[in-house]
Structures are given as structure tokens and as C-alpha cells.
Amino acid sequence: MSDHDFCRLHLKAARAGLTSEQRKRLVGAWSYNYPGRCGEFHVPKDDFYWHGSADCSYTARVKGISAWLEKFYPEATS
């Protein structure tokens, strides 16, 4: 098992809960991880940017998707 298998599974689970519309909005989204446990996530279509603590790019994407959902689809996070 590699260091990021759990992170990939976490991302897969986060994506599984998205609607078709939400998946379309996330086309072109990207994430980045800086050394020192800091990551960022971008959704250019919505001019959305998240940054914060993340062990890897997969975790940055999961946390970014969560923050994006809270902002643009608050009913989905309730």
C-alpha cells in the first residue's frame, strides 16, 4: 500500500457524492501541494480558490471540493 492510497480513496468517495451538474462545473479544476503540508484547489469556471492544510494534492482536492460545495451548493452540505 502506497502512502497516498487512502487519499485517493477519499477523493473517489468525495467525487461519488457529486451530481452530474457539479461534475461538469469541476471540469478543468486543479490542485497543488506545496512542501510543508500546504495545498490549494482551483475551479476556474467559478473563479474559486481554496488553500489550507493538506498532506498531498489528493487531500487538497478533497478539501477544496468540500469548500467549493459549501460556497456554491450549501444545500448539498447540510
Is residue 56 within 8 A of residue 5, CB to CB? The reply is: no
Q: What mean pLDDT is predicted for residues 55-77?
A: 93
What pLDDT was estimated at residue 9? Answer: 95
Q: How far apart are CA 55 and CA 73, in angstroms?
A: 25
Q: What is the pLDDT of residue 49?
A: 97
Query: What pLDDT is attached to residue 1?
Result: 60
Has residue 10 got a pLDDT over 70? yes
For the residues 49-78, what does the mean pLDDT come to? Answer: 92
What is the per-residue pLDDT for 37?
A: 87
pLDDT score for 78: 61
Whole-model pTM? 0.90
